[in-house]
Amino acid sequence: MKSRHYLFFAILALGLAACNFTLAADVTPPPGYVSPTPPATLGPLFPAHAPDLANGEKIYAEKCAACHGPTGMGDGPQSKDLPVSVAALGLPEVANPAAPAAWYATVSQGNLERFMPPFLSLSDQERWDVVSYALTLHTTAEQIETGKKLFETKCAANCAEQYSNPETLSALSQNELAANLQKDQSFLTALTSDEALAVAAYIRTRTFAAPQATPTPAPTTETSATAETTPLAGTAQPSAGFGSVSGMVNNETGEALPANLKIKLRSFEHDGNPNNAPKEIASLESVVQPDGKYQFDAVELPENRILLAEVEVNGVPYQSDFFIVKAESASVEMAPITAYRATEDYSGLQVTDLQYYFDYANPNDVQILAVYSILNPTNQTVILKQDGSQDIPFLKTPAGVTNLGYETSQDSAPILSLANGFALPPSAEKPYSIIALGSAPKNETIQIEQPVVLDVTNVMLLVPEGVEAEGATLTNGGPHPFQNRTFNMYTAGSLKAGATLTFTLSGSPKNTAVNPDVTQNQNLLIGLGAVGLALIVIGGWLYWKDRNNTETTEDDSETDDAETTLDAILTLDDLRRAGKISDSAYQKRRAELKGKLKK
């Protein structure tokens, strides 16, 4: 299996879904058109040298603090002038799921939808310095010290080396690294979730450059002036003021709110050290009144305290936006929370786009990604109960296709997690984006019969050049080049619930090898959608699944020619960079492949 094909298709799928990208027509630029300045070029997705946190802190103060705030709470002086909220990098909920490579890509190429420009003035190493510093804003000195002690006492002698590779660590978020640590048998005893996060935070610090020694200042001559120390911005000591916190639960359930409905107010605070994460310091409970109003009295309201209100109605959790307390606040009004009627009837959902992508790289199977963009235009929260099953009732798997699972793209509207399923609150503008993964046996012709459970507005198929799709409802859009690849595109009109989308794939793909320069392949992946880096995990997982199924019957015929052998080497490099293969296995297999290439 060629994992980089999966990486390409996974990120391509998200890029098209997230940007509503269409290949339906080529656009010829007008005379005199000047191409815009390209974004900063991405280097390798790991730092060439150990990141310098001191330098990163200086860059952060100069380039980032104005919007993200000195402690990463999204409360910089320029944040209030933006039409969008600024990411609170200092919150563990924001930072823990983020891989350093993803933040590096955003710093390099910007995120113009969130009014963040690319930082063209920074060198590659400077971008890694500031990203590494930003990833310390959510950790605490206590957490890192705890992680250090656990790592030194529980990690067997041979396990330290495997957690020192900057390529591997750059590709993993703290959550992913913690999950790997909990499964690692080289630890003397199993780690709890909190312990694993602490160890992951400590492991990250082992890749940083050692701090430079602070020079001893020359003695100063005595002067009559009294020295004054100006505190850093954002490090003011909290005042002792108290006040009230109020808000509203908008009741759209169609019935009275439950009697004595509890609402929770959670309080977080920074200690002024930008290296420390905000800590939850209080959790208060109150009761929502029948009219939806609630109030907390005698709440401590020092400047920069972070507040969040949470309520559960009919088994569905809803919460407010975060609120950051301003100086000398005597009262705070939280953003309203809207609770909706809950229903298990999903017939009101609409599929605005269904996009299929087919990859023929595996010799035995055709891998299929189906990206569903779903709106909930109703006034009800749709409950999807799974009861231990991974099936999603309105996403049927075609006959003959093996369901490999589902993923949610990072640009999806928020999906609420329930104990036995998930929930989709009303969302008439921002779609929920769900990716269904499957595989079908590779035959001379492959017939797909997709049951349609919900109304579908648009259908698009992308197949490799050389493969054709035939179906009564399909329109051939012809070949379309995209990032040095060529696809045959097919479209279909709207489909009604209860219909079946039927088409047949035939033919063999032409040579679809991408640029042999691994760095350029990475640029391609990130350029298509930095928000889709999480899907790299899907590519790696699919690779290993297919490899495990085929490695016992694999023979040298798959790498007889130089081009295929080179492709296998590049695949191996991608796996190592993504942290999906051990260094010893990588070196051994690469040496074997290089020997074949020389022959």
Confidence check: pLDDT of 229 > 80: no
Residue 470, phi then psi, degrees to nearest 5:
-130, 135
pLDDT band, very low/low/confident/very high, at 436 (cuts 50, 70, 90) = confident
In sequence order, the β-bridge partners of residue 446 are: 505
Q: Rounded CA gap, 60 and 11, in Å?
A: 29
Q: By the 8 A CB rule, do 379 and 483 touch? A: no
Instruction: Answer with the residue of higher pLDDT: 31 or 106.
Output: 106
Q: Rounded CA gap, 181 and 187, in Å?
A: 8
Query: Could you count the other beta carbons within 10 Å of the beta carbon of residue 330?
Result: 9
Query: What is the 8-class DSSP label of residue 539?
Result: H
At 499 the pLDDT is: 93
At 113 the pLDDT is: 62
Confidence check: pLDDT of 228 > 70: no
At 524 the pLDDT is: 29
Does 384 lie in the same domain as 302?
A: no
pLDDT band, very low/low/confident/very high, at 597 (cuts 50, 70, 90) = low
Confidence check: pLDDT of 483 > 60: no
For residue 396, the enclosing domain spans 345-514
Q: By the 8 A CB rule, do 138 and 91 touch? A: yes
Does 469 lie in the same domain as 377?
A: yes
Query: Where a domain ends, among 514, 545, 574?
Result: 514
As given in the structure block, the two tokens for residue 425 are 């609150």
As given in the structure block, the two tokens for residue 278 are 């905000």
Query: Where a domain ends, among 495, 514, 533?
Result: 514
The separation between CA 544 and the C-alpha centre of its own chain, rounded to angstroms, equals 21
- At 282-330, the pLDDT tens digits run 899 999 999 999 999 999 998 888 899 999 998 899 989 888 888 888 9
Does 364 lie in the same domain as 484?
A: yes
Instruction: Please tell me the least confidently modeled range out of 404-408, 564-568, 592-596.
Output: 564-568
Answer yes or no: is 370 within a domain. yes
In sequence order, the β-bridge partners of residue 265 are: 284, 309
Answer yes or no: is 591 within a domain. no
Q: pLDDT > 90: what percent of the chain?
A: 29
At 56 the pLDDT is: 92
Does 154 lie in the same domain as 303?
A: no
Instruction: Please tell me the least confidently modeled range out of 128-137, 362-371, 459-468, 479-488.
Output: 479-488
pLDDT band, very low/low/confident/very high, at 232 (cuts 50, 70, 90) = very low
Residue 74, phi then psi, degrees to nearest 5:
70, 25
Does 391 lie in the same domain as 467?
A: yes
The separation between CA 504 and the C-alpha centre of its own chain, rounded to angstroms, equals 34
In three state form, how does the secondary structure of 264-305 look?
Answer: EEEEEECCCCCCCCCEEEEEEEEECCCCCEEEEEEEECCCCC
547: part of which helix (H) or strand (E)?
A: helix 535-550
pLDDT band, very low/low/confident/very high, at 418 (cuts 50, 70, 90) = confident
Instruction: Answer with the residue of higher pLDDT: 543 or 502.
Output: 502
Answer yes or no: is 86 within a domain. no
> Structure pTM?
0.48
Does 486 lie in the same domain as 416?
A: yes
DSSP, residue by residue, 445-482: EEEEEEE--S-EEEEEEEEETTEEEE-TTEEEEEEEEE
Does 401 lie in the same domain as 367?
A: yes
Does 165 lie in the same domain as 254?
A: no
As given in the structure block, the two tokens for residue 28 are 């010829």
At 110 the pLDDT is: 77
Q: Rounded CA gap, 230 and 372, in Å?
A: 54
Q: By the 8 A CB rule, do 466 and 432 touch? A: no
Answer yes or no: is 165 within a domain. yes
As given in the structure block, the two tokens for residue 300 are 């401590």
Does 414 lie in the same domain as 483?
A: yes
Average predicted confidence (pLDDT) for the chain: 75
Does 256 lie in the same domain as 382?
A: no
At 26 the pLDDT is: 29
Q: Rounded CA gap, 449 and 441, in Å?
A: 14
Query: Where a domain ends, among 329, 357, 392?
Result: 329
| Mean pLDDT, rounded, for 176-205 | 86
Answer yes or no: is 599 within a domain. no
Does 495 lie in the same domain as 359?
A: yes
Confidence check: pLDDT of 266 > 70: yes
Confidence check: pLDDT of 463 > 60: yes
Query: What is the 8-class DSSP label of residue 64?
Result: I
491: part of which helix (H) or strand (E)?
A: strand 485-492
At 513 the pLDDT is: 38
At 303 the pLDDT is: 85
Q: Any idea of the CA torsion for 11, 13, 17, 20, to the nearest 10 degrees?
A: 90
In terms of Cα–Cα distance, which of 139, 138, 104 is closest to 123?
104
Does 359 lie in the same domain as 319?
A: no
Answer yes or no: is 236 within a domain. no
Q: pLDDT > 70: what percent of the chain?
A: 68
Answer yes or no: is 466 within a domain. yes
Place of tokens 């002690």: 149
371: part of which helix (H) or strand (E)?
A: strand 365-376
Q: What is the CATH number of the domain that holds 478?
A: 2.60.40
| Mean pLDDT, rounded, for 235-256 | 78
Q: Rounded CA gap, 561 and 554, in Å?
A: 15
Q: How many domains does the chain have?
A: 3
Q: Rounded CA gap, 361 and 367, in Å?
A: 8
